[in-house]
Amino acid sequence: MTPRPRSAPRGSVGGVGGRAVTTGPAPAPRPGRLRAAARTGLHSGVQVVSDHVVLNTLWVVCSLGVVTAPAATTALLGVASEWAQGHDRDGSARLFLRIFRDRFRRSLALAGVWTALGAVITADALFVAAAGQPLRTVLGVPLLPVIALYALTAVTLFLVNATTEGTWVDVARATVLLSLRCLPAALASTALVVVFAMVVVSAPLALLLLTSTVAEGVAWLCRADRRSPAPARRA
């Protein structure tokens, strides 16, 4: 009869020749490794902060011309889209300037169209508000979803412009489809921008410090819902 092998004592594993090898506690991390990890984390944090400072500065400077603000916002969201997708942050300034140059005319056209639409919607809303009943209800009910859709598309318009090829009509169509197909992301992005606008009203300095952070938040909320890839970097 074959003898039954003895079980190894607790806290041990089977070794060579049937001997039990006792396992001890895991070795404590060396202080040098902890210091290296701390330095790496600190360096990464400083780099992220400096990237946001540079991007905010570029956006502010490029928006001073007023007519250049749409292209600057498009470039801001284009870079933020890359960051939100986990791409390398090196060369973000060059990417900003490239998007600013390549999307300048289309950004200006889109801003003009959306401004005109906003003026028409505002005029309609004022007319409805001044109308009496039952005309106010008849005209106001269908106007509400139009106002809501306009607000949603105004937030995501320049993000789609930065990541979509084609004419301004293609961008406008893609923006409307994004807002309708990915309603939760569009609503969250709009809420984030509204909260940021309220903060800017009470603390204008936030416009210079947090704009790129909010842009990255919008890009992060919409990143999984866009089919168009972010602009490819040039060497």
pLDDT score at 46: 76
pLDDT score at 202: 94
Is 124 part of a structural domain of the chain? yes
Q: Please state, in angstroms and rounded to a whole number, the distance separating the CA atoms of residues 125 and 108.
A: 26
Helix (H) or strand (E) holding 79: helix 69-84
Is 30 part of a structural domain of the chain? no
Is 92 part of a structural domain of the chain? yes
Q: What φ, ψ does residue 21 adopt, rounded to 5°?
A: -105, 115
Q: What is the mean pLDDT of the chain?
A: 82
Is 8 part of a structural domain of the chain? no
User: Average pLDDT in the 118-127 region?
Assistant: 94
Is 104 part of a structural domain of the chain? yes
DSSP assigned state of 13: E
Is 196 part of a structural domain of the chain? yes
Helix (H) or strand (E) holding 22: strand 20-22
pLDDT score at 41: 55
CB 117 within 8 A of CB 157: no
pLDDT score at 232: 44
Structural tokens at position 71: 């292209």
pLDDT score at 16: 45
DSSP 115-166: HHHHHHHHHHHHHHHHSPTTHHHHHHHHHHHHHHHHHHHHHHHHHHHHH--S
pLDDT winner (highest mean) among 25-39, 161-175, 218-232? 161-175
Give this prediction's pTM.
0.74
DSSP assigned state of 104: H
Number of domains in the chain: 1
CB 107 within 8 A of CB 129: no
Is 211 part of a structural domain of the chain? yes
Q: Lowest-confidence range among 1-5, 168-172, 189-193, 214-218?
A: 1-5
- Reported as half-sphere exposure (CB side, CA atoms, 13 A), residue 171 has a value of 25
Structural domain range at position 208: 38-225
Q: How confident is the model at residue 227 (pLDDT cuts 50, 70, 90)?
A: very low
Q: Please state, in angstroms and rounded to a whole number, the distance separating the CA atoms of residues 72 and 226.
A: 21
If you compute the radius of gyration of the chain from its CA atoms, what whole number of angstroms results? Answer: 27
DSSP 165-221: -S-HHHHHHHHHHHHHHTHHHHHHHHHHHHHHHHHHHH-TTHHHHSHHHHHHHHHHH
Q: Lowest-confidence range among 44-58, 116-130, 190-204?
A: 44-58
Lookup result for tokens 């809501």: 148
Q: Is pLDDT above 50 for 231?
A: no
Q: Please state, in angstroms and rounded to a whole number, the distance separating the CA atoms of residues 210 and 206.
A: 5
Longest dimension (CA), the chain: 103
Q: Is pLDDT above 90 for 62?
A: yes
Is 133 part of a structural domain of the chain? yes
